[in-house]
Amino acid sequence: MTSQTFIDLSRWQFATTAAFHMTFPALSVGLAIFVAICYGAYYKTGNPVYLQMFRFWRSIFAIGFALGIVSGIVLTFELGLNWGNYARAVGPILGPMICMEALMAFFLEAGFFGILVWGEGRVSKRVTMVSACMVALGALLSTAWILDANSWMQTPAGYREVNGQFQPVNWLHAIFNPAFNWRFPHMVLAVLIAAAWFIAAIGAYYLLRRRALPLARKTLSIALLAAAILLPIQLNVGDNMASYMTLVYQPDKLIAAEGNFNNGNTGWVWFAVPDQAQQRNYVQLSIPYAESVFDYHNFSGDESTPGLKTIPQSLQPTVAPVFWGFRIMIYGAWAMFAVAFIGVILRLRRRLYTERWFLRLVLWMLPVGVISTIGGWVVSESGRQPWLVYGKLLVNSSASSLSTGELIASLAAFWIVYLALITAWIRQVVREVRRGPDALPGQEGTQAAAPGASGAPAPAGLPVTPVEA
């Protein structure tokens, strides 16, 4: 029998490596689409600013993409390393789904990524355009399949159990399981919004520094437009998902997210310090009647989510991560909505590029989308506990039998390595941004001449960007 320590540490290992991994795809999906949009605009209009944007964002995209790949390889192994029993049980269903991800998405991305990044000059504009679209498509397909595999663990469907193994009976039901149908749009919107703020913030940075202004304006404009369109949709999708999907299929998750231990609180708890052992909250602050409105769209204000005590304590999810993951997600979403709303007003008043306080605000919004996405993922995964396959397979009976020593060593190694990697990634992005985009093709003082002329002198250390007064 595997020890509890081993299981807890394995959970930490998976949770931290997965959270690290998903930061990069979360940005890459949106960045890939943005890069494709930039090139598409250049392809259509021939405006060199779009080409400059394409090249600049492509190089930022490339590094994050590489980190996404290598940290993703880790996950494909981790499913089996510490979780041998789980791997055996769900392999016949989740294995093919992730194979589909590799076949449809990874190969597509990797095949065209090289052409996208290195192909300029070797291939026609049309091929570059197609490559950009294929990379973006691959990123979306990858999101779909990985989310599908995860959703099946939330709401298993289309299977039968044989000797403790889940075997497919109806692939359509398994693939389009109830959670997937709700969570896929939610996740795609989330990653697009996360990337939109990342992109907008860098645009705002250039506007604040008064550098590369044509690029900065276009970048900020497109990204904020995307955020302004997507956020209201996302709030709606998320709200419906909580009210319908979670309430019907995973009530435990909703109960834990609302953070009440007792029945009957019609208020929406906005702050709580839960004490699971005592089955109560130390501190709890709620907005009266709001829960009824939020969760049930019942404006009489007298409907409430049941308390956790309705679930046997051994089957309760741990409240704190679910509750706070949900709060982080939704507070982030509200903040993003507010800033996007202000952005729309400023745009209508034609002051979007000049209000410095607003640009500073946008700069601060840079990580909010990613943080919200990770918050949501914490809700989703810790709200499923103590089940690994909801209602069917307990986390505690899923692990491999290994010694705790090697696990501790690997966990420490992962944390050190990932800390180093994320530091290196942030520094590289900061470097690239500080250095600025390449000069517009054809402008004077530009370095971006034909290959072979690259010996042309440029003073070291100076930004190659034309600085506009």
463 binds another protein (CB under 8 A): no
Residues in region 372-401 near another protein by CB under 8 A: 400-401
- Number of Cβ within 10 Å of residue 129's Cβ equals 18
- Binding part of the chain for another protein, among 241-249, 255-263, 292-300, 457-465 by CB under 8 A, reads 457-465
Q: Figure out which of the listed residues 15, 229, 344, 417 binds another protein, where binding follows CB under 8 A.
A: 417
208 binds another protein (CB under 8 A): no
Q: Is the dihedral of CA 177, 182, 185, 188 positive or negative?
A: negative
Residues in region 249-308 near another protein by CB under 8 A: none
Tokens of 340: 């996007």
Residues in region 131-170 near another protein by CB under 8 A: 162, 165, 167-169
- Please name which of 36, 18, 38 lies closest in space to residue 26, comparing C-alpha atoms: 18
404 binds another protein (CB under 8 A): no
Q: What are phi and psi of 156, to 5 degrees?
A: -60, 140
Whether omega for the bond prior to residue 386 falls within 30 degrees of 0, making it cis, is: yes
433 binds another protein (CB under 8 A): no
465 binds another protein (CB under 8 A): no
Q: How far is the CB of 26 from another protein (least distance, A)?
A: 17
Q: How far is the CB of 447 from another protein (least distance, A)?
A: 5
C-alpha to C-alpha distance for 420 and 94, rounded to whole angstroms? 31
Q: How far is the CB of 172 from another protein (least distance, A)?
A: 11
- Binding part of the chain for another protein, among 109-117, 257-265, 277-285, 371-379 by CB under 8 A, reads 109-117
Q: How far is the CB of 316 from another protein (least distance, A)?
A: 29
Residues contacting residue 307 through CB under 8 Å, at least 6 positions apart: 255, 260, 261, 262, 263, 264, 265
CA geometry: angle 332, 67, 109, nearest 5 deg: 100
Q: Which is nearer to another protein, 445 or 459 (CB)?
A: 459
User: Exposed/middle/buried for 24, CB within 10 Å: 0-12, 13-18, 19+?
Assistant: buried
Contact criterion met (CB below 8 Å) for 288 and 341: no
Contact criterion met (CB below 8 Å) for 214 and 49: yes
- Binding part of the chain for another protein, among 41-49, 264-272, 292-300, 456-464 by CB under 8 A, reads 456-464
Contact criterion met (CB below 8 Å) for 119 and 58: no
Q: How far is the CB of 116 from another protein (least distance, A)?
A: 9
Q: How far is the CB of 205 from another protein (least distance, A)?
A: 19
C-alpha distance from residue 389 to each of 6, 79, 301, 384 (Å): 19, 13, 34, 8
Q: Figure out which of the listed residues 44, 45, 102, 423 binds another protein, where binding follows CB under 8 A.
A: 102
Per-residue mark of binding to another protein, 35-74 (x: CB under 8 A): --------------------xx-xx--xx-xxx-xxxxxx
Size of the site for another protein (CB under 8 A): 88
